[in-house]
Amino acid sequence: MFLENTINSKKRNGWIEVICGSMFSGKTEELIRRLKRAKFAKQKVEIFKPQVDVRYDEEAVVSHDENQIHSTPVPASANIPLLINDEEVIGIDEAQFFDMELVGVCNQLADQGIRVIVAGLDMDFQGKPFGPIPALMATAEYITKVHAICMRCGNLANHSHRIEGGEELVMLGETESYEPLCRNCFNDVRKIEKSKK
């Protein structure tokens, strides 16, 4: 019994943190802040992002405020464990663009004693749960939901309304394509859009 307790006490404790919200809510800014603090504490850190996200930079994770940190772009979540050595903290940005296997990958890493910090949109432009984020929220130890400001009324915004573009689920864009809206403004705009079809 003593030996078992000694072994368990030496095992590093891992967990999952999810930072979610609408576009322009500061998700990436918060991810970068946490990762830079971990680096300052001399922890070994690695950051990943989906290869498809090249809006600001092909490699760096960049916030809307142009704060940035170096990252490794990967084509699929299965690549993440293959690129980890002895890191203590793993950051994953734009997690909604990854496949559903990301949930298992994050839990596997946390089970190995790694702190996993994931940032991404929790809802798509139609207001529906987006990609692996909802399942990650269900298994995470910590969830931070951040909000933007509604571009129509100034209240807290939790929806990403697509101003222009098609109906495909994934469409990279910024302020020219999306605006953050509160629940009421989002519902009003969606009603108008549906009546025009």
What sign for the dihedral angle of Cα 125, 127, 128, 129? positive
Quote the tokens at residue 167.
């109906």
Separation of alpha carbons 13 and 20, rounded Å:
23
Separation of alpha carbons 124 and 96, rounded Å:
9
Among residues 87, 94, 141, 176, the one annotated as catalytic is: 94
* 3-state DSSP assignment of residue 98: coil
Cα-trace Rg, the chain: 18
Q: Are 98 and 130 in contact (CB under 8 A)?
A: no
Known catalytic membership, residue 66: no
Q: Are 27 and 133 in contact (CB under 8 A)?
A: no
DSSP string of 105-118? HHHHHHHTT-EEEE
Separation of alpha carbons 83 and 81, rounded Å:
5
Q: Are 181 and 189 in contact (CB under 8 A)?
A: yes
The residues annotated with a catalytic role in the active site are: 94
